[in-house]
Chain A
Amino acid sequence: MIEFRHVTKRFPGGTVAVEDFSLVLPSRKTTVFAGSSGSGKTTLLRMINRMVDPTEGSIEIDGVDVATVDPVKLRRSIGYVMQSSGLLPHRTVVDNVATVPLLRRVPRRQARTDALALLDTVGLDRALADRYPSQLSGGQQQRVGVARGLAVDPNILLMDEPFGAVDPIVRSELQQELLRLKRELHKTIVFVTHDVEEAFLLGDQVVILREGGRVAQVGSPAEILARPADDFVARFVGADRGRRALHVVTQDGAELLMDSEGRVAGVLGHGKPGTGEQPR
């Protein structure tokens, strides 16, 4: 369990990234911080592994204040995946994945074996193990990044817009892959995104943030969609424009679900053949 207690972060120069933020992130669940830029979501994430230290307040992991833990030791026990994969360009894929285990003095051969197994876990071909990051596609690099984040088998995995820089098809693949990992590995995942669809897909608990790290609403995706706390949330999740309000249109004998802007969202079923024009 991760607990934020009245956390405030003021950067030198006076920018307030987060103000009096309190929240409990339950263990083995995925909490998503969703908000636009300037909402402090990345700052919140980076305070968990002390990449940023709060100006006021405290963050506890299982009851231990992170400020009392040596940052290097803390970071080695927490997985971290970032947007640009952040892989070391002068090391091969397998060496990148094994970086932290080697820092923790796991024997070389053991670290390599474990790293190869992790490539399987994230759905990467072992044939890529000895390539350099620049020889991989963006999606493959992100998978290596996830494997590296899992390398020390951490209880907590921090993910900072990990799928923000890949194309929509790869993005959707990676999201499905993460859902599978969630089911198999039972990690406490903290995920940052500006994409509300992604937040609702992956999050058990979703935190919608306004500017300055102030919480607009916390809840499960269903709760937030059913009862947006205010106009800001409604706008953010797209409920106000009726983007999620669907109606049925019968066309060419098929019942189509249309959204408010007249785009097809899905097919309910086909009408009787022979009535009207034949469905193509």
Chain B
Amino acid sequence: MNFFIAAIAWLFDPAHYTGAGSIPSRLLEHLGFTLVTLVFASVIAIPAGYYIGHTGRGRRVAILLSGGLRALPTLGLLTLVGLWVGIGLEAPYVALTILAIPPILAGAYTGFEAIDRATIDAATAMGMSGGQVVRKVEMPLGLPLLIGGLRSATLQVVATATLAAYIADVGLGRPVFEGLKTNNYDEMLAGSILVILLALVLEGIFALATRLALRVVPTASGLQPDLTR
């Protein structure tokens, strides 16, 4: 229990709220790093997932690939890319983008696949072009599952982004690694608590977003993407 009290004391120490490596700046770094990673992953995974969901092509490859990517140990990947490109932010960005792609990809294509075929058939028969079917039917109806995919990607990235501090001076992993190195367990625990709180706050935001999306799309009933496929 003493550790916890000491960690909380560390968190409320005014000295840790100013200067380089202060708690607010670490939080912002962590958040920024997570966001940029998610943007990278989304730019790759959402168009690819939409393509797979709309055409039905490449599904098998996507499943194999995302299964394989998910099996990669992130720390190992980070070290490997770090050895290749050197110390800095590049390696964590690469490693965590790879971590974030599978859930987003799955969310994007299962979102399309979960739509009633009759709805899409009717939209085509009425005279929607392929692009209009994607934009006006598949994208809005697939939204709840895509948000589900983004949600699980965000949680994985925000938690694993701690590892970025392993080879770069960034994020809430810093106090954790620093504390570990200097036997300062108060600082280490305080860092973990901050990561956990951040993850919970983001989860709350996504829960709200899912609700909103379900209000816009009344048919999808709180489906979560099936990440085991």
Q: Residues of A with Cβ closer than 8 Å to B?
A: 46, 49, 51, 72-77, 80, 82, 84-90, 99-100, 103, 132, 134, 148
Contact = CB atoms under 8 A, between A and B. Distances in A.
A82 B122 CA distance: 7
B218 interface: yes
A148 B218 CA distance: 20
Given A82-B118, A84-B118, A103-B132, A90 B125 contact: no
B6 to A, nearest CB: 52
A88 B137 CA distance: 7
Interface string B162-180: 0000000000000000000
Contacts, number: 62
A72 B123 CA distance: 11
The interface centre, meaning the residue of B118, B122, B219 with most chain A CB atoms within 10 A of its CB, is B122
Interface residues of B, number: 21
A51 B120 CA distance: 12
For the complex of A and B, 4 pairs with smallest distance between CB atoms: A86-B122, A76-B127, A75-B127, A89-B219
B1 interface: no
B121 interface: yes
Contacts of A99: 126
B119 interface: yes
A90 B127 contact: no
Given A72-B127, A72-B128, A90 B216 contact: yes
Contacts of A49: 125
A90 B218 contact: yes
B223 to A, nearest CB: 14
Given A75-B124, A80-B126, A89 B119 contact: yes
| Majority SS at the chain B contact face | helix
The interface centre, meaning the residue of A46, A84, A85, A89 with most chain B CB atoms within 10 A of its CB, is A89
A156 B216 CA distance: 34
B184 interface: no
Contact of B141 (A73, A84, A89): A89
Interface of B: 116, 118-119, 121-129, 132, 136-137, 140-141, 216-219
A156 to B, nearest CB: 13
Contacts of B136: 88
Nearest to B125: A80
The interface centre, meaning the residue of B116, B141, B216, B218 with most chain A CB atoms within 10 A of its CB, is B218
Contacts of A87: 119, 122
Given A88-B137, A90-B218, A134-B219, 18 more contacts: A72-B127, A72-B129, A75-B124, A80-B126, A82-B118, A82-B121, A84-B116, A86-B118, A86-B119, A87-B119, A88-B119, A88-B136, A89-B116, A89-B218, A89-B219, A99-B126, A100-B126, A132-B218
23 contacts: A49-B125, A51-B124, A72-B129, A74-B127, A75-B124, A76-B127, A80-B125, A82-B122, A86-B118, A86-B119, A86-B121, A87-B122, A88-B137, A89-B116, A89-B141, A89-B217, A89-B218, A90-B141, A90-B218, A100-B126, A103-B132, A132-B218, A134-B218
